[in-house]
Amino acid sequence: MLKDKNAVVTGSTSGIGLGIARALAAQGCHVVLNGFGDPDAIEQNRAALERECGVTVRYHGADLRKPTEIRDLIETATRQLGGVDILCNNAGIQHTAPIEQFPPEKWDAIIAVNLSHAFHTIHHALPQMKQRGWGRIVNTASAHGLVASANKAAYVAAKHGIVGLTKVVALETAGTGVTCNAICPGWTRTELVEPQIAARAKQLGVGIEEGARALLAEKQPSQQFVTVEQLGQLVVFLCSDAAAQITGAAIPIDGGWTAQ
């Protein structure tokens, strides 16, 4: 279905982003990975994807706080693969604190990585998508792009911003063959969530797994974590012809969290 399409997935060296990259590669997409981490582990993941899926997989270490590096990411992907057909803006960081204690530098970093980077990647990738008459942009928002939680001012603001940006891009590209949608995951057990599980376990004086169950119980009626595989398959669907008229949507995949 997506054979020989070219995809850029930000924040894809682990967690949700790596799951999205795997799902796209399994459909025959060539992929550019992006993110931080241990260089050897990144190379192992890159080589494994390339070997297992029979596609080209590259890595670009752009710091998504820096617009010049984001531009280089899109330009390098275009040069190496021949174009960018699919853009998945997934990278995100987190910090929790009451707003009066929230460090301004943390606010700036979270807005830059979780929101502004998506503007810059879209700004540079969209012209070629419109020129070809086909493109898919999928932004990873969050249940926190639809509802709020205490102590997450920057994250909630950024994710609400991602949903708004998604709608604007969808309106500006309607009828061009380009779609832009946001996925809104609930609790997904990734490196981003593990510190929150540990904090909840410490607060309750219980083990890590009991802390995880307590975190789920507070927000997610299904009492189950969303998996990275489920998120990857949702992205694949949004990139398919079946989803050609889905654009500007913010799709919850959250075990009922935002239905409450």
The CA-based angle 84-10-177, given to 5 degrees, is 35
Options 7, 45, 141, 155, the catalytic residue: 155
Active site residue 155: yes
CA distance 50 to 154: 36
Over its C-alpha atoms, the chain yields an Rg (Å, rounded) of: 18
Per DSSP, which regions of 5-71 are E strands? Answer: 6-9, 30-34, 57-60
Return all residues near 130 (Cβ < 8 A) that are at least 6 apart: 173, 176, 177, 178
Q: For residue 140, what are its two tokens?
A: 């990873």
- Which residues form the catalytic set? 155
